Structure 1
Amino acid sequence: MLEVEHLVKTFGSMTAVDHESFTIKPGEIMGLIGQNGAGKTTTFRMILNFLTPDSGAIRWNGHPLTAKDYDVIGYLPEERGLYPKMKVADQITYFARLRGMKAADVKAQIPEWLDRFQVKGKPTDKVKDLSKGNQQKVQLIATLIHMPKLVILDEPFSGLDPVNASVLQSGIEMLRDSGSAIIYSSHDMGNVEAISDHLVMLKNGQMVLNGTVDAIRESFGRTKLYIESGLSAEQLREFDGVEKLVAHGNEFELTLADPEVGQRIFAQATANGYIPEFRQQPPTLDEIFRTKAGAAHA
């Protein structure tokens, strides 16, 4: 279990991380979100001991991280770093041996890992001859092949097309199911919402969201309404508390000032019986992110 407690990191007069606290349990995925410069990468670098916190504590299974503990950590930096002239198998083996694996064990597993991540290339190909997306997957394999107990991924989905992003997501879920504690950053709220058990949002180094995805969404109220009924756009706009209406064919998407407005709309829409659709739900994580990122105060 990773515990981060009241971390503070300053650079001169700038506070990059301001009393940040969270816990990640084995078999749990935590998404760390925020705009560029919010403090995400600084957080990762403090966990990895690349930076020293001004104050606060970082504990792994109840104790400060030791040099030996770093052998059970997998880290994928935002700035990808592979040796382009090395063969794929040699590249993966090199990084795995740094984590204590035997070369023979690594090489025996490489074909399975290349297949799992659908890498279009052979173990004997040079890294530079692979596409950018396949190079990313090779680096991810090098990060994960030693089956780390703690996985830190800095913008792992960056630059990946939807198919490859799905492959990566499956890989992250595989590590979670094996009991790894995983923390990753992403600007893709769809990915975060799909796979995160828990999330933290930073703004100017401060935590402005902290909790499960469902709990955070529910805390903003069920102010999104999707309805297909006999009511026209004009009739829906007439309801007091409808702040915004967008038409999607026969369906209308409404933003409500208060969740209770939905009850009045439902009563009128169903006055004559069945309607094809009525869904009332909290705002999406993407909408919440945009709200919190643009807010003047946390």
Structure 2
Amino acid sequence: MDVLKVENITKAYANHIALNDVSLSVPKGSIYGLLGPNGAGKTTLIRIVNQITGPDSGKVFFNGEPLSPKHVSRIGYLPEERGLYKKMKVGEQALYLAQLKGMSKKDANEKLKEWFKRFEIEGWWDKKVEELSKGMAQKVQFITTVMHEPEFIILDEPFSGFDPINANLIKGEIKRLSENGTTIMLSTHNMGSVEEICSHIGLIHNSVKMLEGSIGTVRDAYKEGVYDLQFQGDMISITNAMWTNFELIDHWKRDGSQIARIKLLNKSTVNDLLAVAIAVIKVEAVNEVIPSMNDIFIKVVENKSDSHE
């Protein structure tokens, strides 16, 4: 079942079309990467889901029901533009925000103490927000976003401004929340984070959805029959043996072995490649080259640009 379903959403501002007939489905329990460059339309879509603004046309469903104000409390939202009251104490502000989200003061206090301990920030409780670094303030805001245990959490560029250690801390918490049944939408242009933690992706570019699906399905769809052949032997021998059914893309040495990156042509298979290779060299390993999300992103965007020329 889909927690969030967006159907044919269009939104325009003056002469700018922010979203053009966009449809997306976010499966329950997934970590869904909403991808795209700045200005693609990601933030507009998030604002519509959070009911900050409305679409010009199209529909949004939450757990199969038309999205309505009653769903607000079931959605957690960490905006890219962080907003904490600088003069308030950290603990006081976190308690206030928790109560705004329907938690009792007692429950909020217990939950916050638990989160502060997990993030090793117990000593910040009585500090003013203005005393915190940007990264520290983001930790606090992440906690206030998730502490009321919403079933669907939207994180807009959650790793922005974090050092690698704290970025890993947040990634770990995202994975833990997902394992406990929370559905998470992660809006980012950081493809490395997507590879690491997302189960599904949707790619928006120039207000249009370009691509959607599970990470595995998407990567399989963009494989190009390219393999890295690790071997001992003469590079010229393998080059001569390949003839017309294979294309040598690259070649390098690693740890005493030779590596040839080879593309299969004319419907040839990896078994065909091995049969040719074994006759002239000692094969040590063969690995399929799976495109990264960054490779796929570039390919999709370039193909779209070429189709408009």
Deviations 1:148-189 (A, max 9, x none): 111111111222222222211121122222222211111222
Distance 1:118 1:188, change over 3 A: farther
Matched, 1:145 2:147: yes
Contact 1:32 1:184 in 2 (8 A): yes
Match of 1:38 in 2: 40
**Higher Rg of the two aligned structures:** 2
Match of 2:136 in 1: 134
What amino acid does structure 2 have at the position aligned with 1:286? N
Match of 2:301 in 1: 293
Aligned residue pairs total: 298
Which residue among 155, 158, 165 is the counterpart of 2:157? 155
**3-state DSSP of counterpart to 1:49:** coil
Match of 2:222 in 1: 220
Residue 42 of structure 1 deviates from its aligned partner by 0.7
Which residue among 246, 249, 254 is the counterpart of 1:244? 249
Match of 2:285 in 1: 277
Match of 1:124 in 2: 126
Deviations 1:114-166 (A, max 9, x none): 23234484312222323322221111001000001111111112222222222
Question: What TM-score comes out, normalization by structure 2 length?
Answer: 0.86
Deviations 1:251-294 (A, max 9, x none): 53626365846444433333378633311132111111121223
**3-state DSSP of counterpart to 2:69:** coil
Distance 1:5 1:133, change over 3 A: same
- Matches of 1:12 and 1:148 in 2, distance apart? 34
**3-state DSSP of counterpart to 1:275:** strand
What amino acid does structure 1 have at the position aligned with 2:202? V
Contact 2:232 2:282 in 1 (8 A): no
Deviations 1:64-87 (A, max 9, x none): 223231011110001111122222
Matched, 1:256 2:267: no
Distance 1:164 1:231, change over 3 A: farther
Identity of matched residues, % = 35
Match of 2:108 in 1: 106
What amino acid does structure 2 have at the position aligned with 1:288? I
Matched, 1:268 2:276: yes
Match of 2:76 in 1: 74
Distance 1:178 1:162, change over 3 A: same
Distance 1:234 1:202, change over 3 A: farther
The answer to which of 114-123 and 188-197 deviates more is 114-123
Question: What TM-score comes out, normalization by structure 1 length?
Answer: 0.89
Gaps of 5+ in 2: none
Distance 1:271 1:115, change over 3 A: farther
- Matches of 2:231 and 2:9 in 1, distance apart? 51
Contact 1:224 1:253 in 2 (8 A): no
Which residue among 193, 196, 201 is the counterpart of 1:194? 196
Match of 2:97 in 1: 95
Match of 1:58 in 2: 60
What amino acid does structure 1 have at the position aligned with 2:77? Y
**3-state DSSP of counterpart to 1:124:** coil
Contact 2:231 2:281 in 1 (8 A): no
The answer to which of 120-129 and 284-293 deviates more is 120-129
